[in-house]
Structure 1
Amino acid sequence: MNTGAEYETVRVGAGRVTLSDRRTRRTWAVELAPYRLGVYPVTRELYARVTGRPADGGERLPAEDVSWWDAVGFCNALSLRDGLTPAYDVRPDDETVARDTSADGYRLPTEAEWEHACRAGTTGPRYGSLDAVAWHRGNSGGRIREVGGKQPNAWGLHDMLGNVWEWCWDLYDPEVYGTYRVLRGGGWFDEHWSCRASVRRRSHPTFRVDDVGFRLARPADR
């Protein structure tokens, strides 16, 4: 494991994942190089330290009410704080973001990276029994929960399913939904069918709500 300054990550090996979309009934395969991914979603504590936003208690709770734009900004801010090259060139005038693939800084995972890491070599809808691995509507008590409270997958990643939806880098379907970005994983208020490795959700990049957060990726060997 690699903690960097504060954010703990694990190395995820190269692989191949097949993504699917129920709306269009389309499937597509993606080949992946190795990368690093956060063991937990970004917490309120870390988000507060980097951004100055009050943690409002519950420091080990996932940072939520975070838009895709907020998450991208956080990636760059944490990279700069830790002496890394920011992964994103943010252009607020025309509301675009370009990714520097040579940068060693933090970034959002692609949805292929997210699903590959979530599955951790499994092929079913989940990497374990639902109640053992995820906070969802049936067991969360109607509230967000601290990270790490459920069993990790085989690669040591916690909360890949349930607790908070996680922003990914990808556009969902730009021809139909424009700038909408991909969310993965399901949240504490969701029914069991949303907490599956293959489920895709979309939202506008300015959207904020109390069951959406994010985790970070980095290059594998930097």
Structure 2
Amino acid sequence: MSLYRDEGVVLRTQKIGEADRIVTLLTREHGRVRAVARGVRRTTSKFGARLEPFSHVDVQLYTGRTLDGITQAETITPYGRDIVTDYARYTAGAAILETAERFTDQEGEPALQQYLLLIGALRALARGEHEPGLVLDAFLLRSLAVAGYAPSFVDCARCGAPGPHRFFVIPAGGVVCAECRPPGAAVPAPDTLRLLGALLAGDWETADASDPRHRREGSGLVAAYLQWHLERGLRSLPLVVR
């Protein structure tokens, strides 16, 4: 039996048998890992409560034939404690966890950037540093960028003409100039595009000062852009408070 240790965030759990769970984690060194935690649903379990979604944990695992197994778990930061008690934070957090899982399809493949983005987003949610919807949209945009799908909010995504431009075309990869504009292109407010650019760049001063109507419009564009690249929507996204 080969043992290894890593730190990670619990993305999802699934009941199996009478007392066991399959735990999906995004880890720092090993990417996404699915592992069996045996006996954790028993009241006598020593670490069952530590393996809940949003938990940042230090885990010891062993390599199995089909699924790895968890033999030990220690809490690093209980982000869920401050997230699950607030509906807006919880729904945004659920969408963040689902996105992190979807962008790490290959189990065992390192995904350090995605892991660090996830930790940062959960920390911001738990501390209430920014409005939950803004934290979610910033995470979605940066996850897309890490995956190679960064949208352009200034220069033309097709010909590279310097912006700003106002026409937003999802298949093109963001804003386009008047010459590249196809029929039916969306025309969001300039402040909406500035907000999305700020979220992608981490300019929280601009993002926090944005108007709610531009946040709602921006969220719609982000959701549509994400769905285009994932080829299907997130189950948790319609529940997010906007």
Query: Whose helix proportion is higher, 1 or 2?
Result: 2
Structure 1 or 2, whichever has the larger Rg, is 2
Higher relative contact order at CA 8 Å, sep ≥6: structure 1 or structure 2?
1
